[in-house]
Structures are given as C-alpha cells and as structure tokens.
C-alpha cells in the first residue's frame, strides 16, 4: 500500500490542487487497504488521513496503517472540514465522476473558502496497471471461474431454469472461497441469447438452445469475468457458423493483442473479422475492458478508445454476435498483458460444447 500511496503522490505533484479527497470505494481500498463501505481519504504531499465512522474505526486502523484514522460523528462533512483546516488545504481535488451533485453542493457550502477542483481518473489510471499482489489474486479469481465452468457443464440439461444454473454457479464459486459473483450472472438461452446482458430468468433450458453463460468470481476484492456459449443437443448449421466466426475473431485478437497498441487497435482485431463475415451490425459492444477491484475499469478496448495497453494490465477479450429472434454467441477470456503479448488467465476450453 505504501507504494500505491507513493505513486499517487507522484501524480498529485502535477495537479492544480493541494489535496485529493478519495471517496470512490475501489479507489479508497486501492490506496489505503481499507475495505469498509463508508469513509473517505484525504491525501496530500505529506499527509494521509482516513475519515470513517464508529463502525469502521478499529478495522480502518488495522487495514490502513499508513493512514491517520479520524472518526467522524454525526456529520462527516464537519469532520472533513476540520481536517482540511488542520492540513492547510486550500484547493481540494474531488473525484468528478463519482461525487453526487447533492454531496458536491454540501461540500461547496461547508468547506468554503476551500476551493473544490474536479479531478479525473487519477487513481483509476494507477489501478489500470496491476502489481504482483493483484495479479496473483486475479489469477485465482480466474481459476475459480474456470472451475465453475467445468462444474456447470455437468448441470446443464433441458428443463433446468436459467436461474437455477446461475444459482449453482454462484454456490460453487462461493464454496470455493469467492465472496460473491463479480456481477449479476448472465444465463441467456435460446432466443434470449441474443440479449448480450440477458441476466438469468425463469426460462427453462430447451433442446437445441444456445446457452450463453457469463459470470465471474469476486475473490479477495478482485473480479474475474468469463463467457462461454454452449449448445444443448444438436447444433444447427447456422449455430455452428456464428460460433466459428466469434471464435475466430476472439482467437485472432488473443494472438495479436500486445502492449503499445491502443484500445481501438485491439478492438479492430476482432471487429474487422466479424464485419468481413457480414455480422458487423450484430457486434454492438466493445471488445473488452480492464478488470480489477471493479468489473469494468480502465483500459477500454473499444472502437473509440485511445487507452494505450501496457504490461501489467488485465483485460477481457469478448467478441460476440447477437441476432434478435435467433440467438447469440459470446466468448470471453481474461488476459494479462505481458512485455511481449498476453498470458491467458482463464483457460476453459472453447470447443463448441454440445451437451
């Protein structure tokens, strides 16, 4: 954590404010180590203060030894204000994409004459490149997802509901040490598989269905995210055709993604193949996203992303084709950017499972 605080301070040196208020939970945890659900950090060139309430004071002292922990009473803004005065902060940076308008208005009034300066993505940029400790946890989170996929293959059959499949996946991952799913599990079968984010419903699996399973584990605070699509019973020609195109696009992207590329260039690796085969209009989402304390984070692998890929980033690669009234396919893996290319973190087979 000390290294993270030091890296943050390097970033702060170039900013037009003399202290940063960190409120976003993942950012707060990343910089301080504190996992509680309430509290904020005040970070300056010399000081690091964690302000939280009675429920979390003891935990914060244990988890965030590099921070001076201050307990607030009934009014958190009052305590923040006292700390701003104590630390001599005149211009306070705040997370512009996180603070609500309500809190901003309160702070504006309470903290005057301290000036509020919008700060953008400072901690998020640091979080995009993972350290060794994070990579080790992400590997385990990915393995949990792989193990859950192997497990669920024996559970998929006609007559089982999408919701039961989701529940079984979640039970399995939690029994293996996950705190929860990393997002609402997607089980989209039959025509529902054309819904890219078809969260599990009461629909029963039927013979001939495509079944898209998109899920992940939240393990020691970190998210994994895998998608596989299988067929129940015989696959039709059309199902095979679509599956093969998505697979070709995904494998091509995995083979060629490397550091130095922009998110846009990475996205094009898969998108160009899908477009050439005539399905460009049916791949309406981006190729992937960073993965870490939060399920969707920097960098973005999309047609408009200028993010530059760097070693240590962990991203998903997840092309898909979705045809309303017919169904859809997505194949998603988690990968670590290395010095020369990638290392796959999820390793489940991508043969078209016909169950």
Binder to ligand GLY among 18, 134, 297, 318 (CB under 6 A)? 318
Give least dist CB 158 to ligand GLY, A: 25
Give least dist CB 225 to Mn ion, A: 4
3-state helix, strand, coil in the chain (%, to 5): 40, 25, 40
Q: Which is nearer to Mn ion, 122 or 301 (CB)?
A: 301
Say which entry of Mn ion, ligand GLY, none residue 183 contacts (CB below 5 to 8 A, set by partner kind): ligand GLY
Question: Does the protein bind Mn ion through residue 316 (CB under 5 A)?
Answer: yes
Q: Which is nearer to ligand GLY, 214 or 298 (CB)?
A: 214
Give least dist CB 214 to ligand GLY, A: 5
Give least dist CB 332 to ligand GLY, A: 6
Give least dist CB 318 to ligand GLY, A: 6
Question: Does the protein bind Mn ion through residue 181 (CB under 5 A)?
Answer: no
Give least dist CB 332 to Mn ion, A: 5
Q: Which residues pair with 48 in a beta bridge?
A: 43
Say which entry of ligand GLY, Mn ion, none residue 162 contacts (CB below 5 to 8 A, set by partner kind): none
Q: Which is nearer to ligand GLY, 95 or 318 (CB)?
A: 318
Question: Does the protein bind ligand GLY through residue 199 (CB under 6 A)?
Answer: no
Question: Does the protein bind ligand GLY through residue 183 (CB under 6 A)?
Answer: yes
Question: Does the protein bind ligand GLY through residue 214 (CB under 6 A)?
Answer: yes
SS3 320: strand
CA atoms of 135 and 129, how far apart (whole Å): 10
Residue 204 has a CB neighbour count (10 Å cut-off) of 15
Chain residues 219-278 in contact with ligand GLY, contact rule CB under 6 A: 225
CA atoms of 223 and 292, how far apart (whole Å): 6
Q: How many residues does the chain have?
A: 355
Question: Does the protein bind Mn ion through residue 297 (CB under 5 A)?
Answer: no
Q: Which is nearer to ligand GLY, 119 or 266 (CB)?
A: 266
CA 25 and chain centroid, separation? 13
Question: Does the protein bind ligand GLY through residue 297 (CB under 6 A)?
Answer: no
Question: Does the protein bind Mn ion through residue 225 (CB under 5 A)?
Answer: yes
Say which entry of Mn ion, ligand GLY, none residue 326 contacts (CB below 5 to 8 A, set by partner kind): none
The DSSP-derived string for 118-158 is: EE-SHHHHHHHB--HHHHHHHHHHHHHHHHHHHHHHTT--T
Binder to Mn ion among 214, 267, 298, 334 (CB under 5 A)? 214
Give the tokens for residue 44.
């300056």
221: exposed, middle or buried (C-beta count within 10 Å: 0-12, 13-18, 19+)? middle
Tell me the C-alpha to C-alpha distance, in Å, between residue 101 and each of 105, 106, 240, 338: 6, 9, 50, 40
Which parts of the chain are beta strand (E)?
Answer: 19-22, 40-43, 48-52, 68-71, 91-95, 115-119, 180-181, 186-189, 210-215, 217-219, 222-223, 226-231, 288-290, 297-301, 314-317, 320-323, 327-330, 333-337, 342-344
Give the tokens for residue 272.
């160009």
In the block, residue with structure tokens 């991952």: 173
Give least dist CB 5 to ligand GLY, A: 30
- Footprint on this chain of Mn ion (rule: CB under 5 A): 214, 225, 227, 316, 332
- Footprint on this chain of ligand GLY (rule: CB under 6 A): 183, 186, 214, 225, 318, 332
């Amino acid at each position: 954590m000390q290294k993270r605080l030091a890296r943050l301070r390097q970033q702060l040196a170039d900013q037009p404010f003399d202290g940063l208020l960190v409120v976003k939970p993942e950012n707060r945890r990343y910089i301080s180590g504190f996992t509680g659900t309430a509290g904020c950090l005040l970070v300056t060139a010399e000081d690091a203060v964690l302000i939280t309430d009675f429920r979390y004071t003891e935990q914060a002292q244990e988890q965030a030894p590099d921070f001076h922990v201050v307990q607030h009473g009934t009014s958190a803004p009052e305590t923040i204000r006292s700390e701003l005065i104590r630390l001599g902060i005149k211009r306070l940076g705040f997370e512009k994409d996180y603070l609500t308008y309500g809190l901003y208005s309160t702070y504006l009034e309470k903290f005057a004459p301290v000036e509020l300066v919008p700060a953008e993505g400072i901690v998020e940029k640091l979080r995009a490149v993972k350290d060794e400790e994070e990579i080790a946890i992400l590997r385990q989170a990915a393995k949990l997802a792989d193990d859950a996929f192997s497990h669920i293959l024996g559970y998929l059959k006609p007559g089982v509901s999408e919701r039961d499949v989701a529940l079984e996946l979640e039970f399995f991952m939690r029994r293996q040490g996950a705190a929860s799913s990393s997002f609402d599990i997607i089980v989209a079968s039959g025509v529902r598989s054309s819904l890219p984010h078809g969260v599990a419903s009461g629909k029963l699996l039927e013979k001939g269905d495509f079944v898209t399973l998109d899920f992940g584990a939240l393990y020691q605070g970190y998210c994994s995210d895998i998608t596989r699509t299988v067929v129940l019973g015989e696959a039709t020609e059309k199902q095979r055709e679509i599956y093969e195109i998505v697979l070709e696009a995904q494998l091509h992207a995995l083979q060629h993604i490397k550091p130095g590329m922009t998110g846009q260039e990475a996205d094009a690796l898969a998108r160009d193949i899908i477009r050439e085969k005539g399905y460009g209009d049916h791949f309406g989402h981006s190729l992937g996203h960073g993965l870490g304390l939060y399920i969707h984070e920097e960098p973005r692998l999309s047609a408009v992303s200028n993010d530059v890929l760097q070693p240590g980033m962990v991203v998903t690669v997840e092309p898909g084709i979705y045809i309303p009234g017919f169904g859809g396919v997505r194949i998603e893996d988690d990968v670590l950017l290395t010095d020369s290319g990638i290392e796959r973190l999820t390793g489940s087979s991508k043969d078209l499972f016909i169950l």
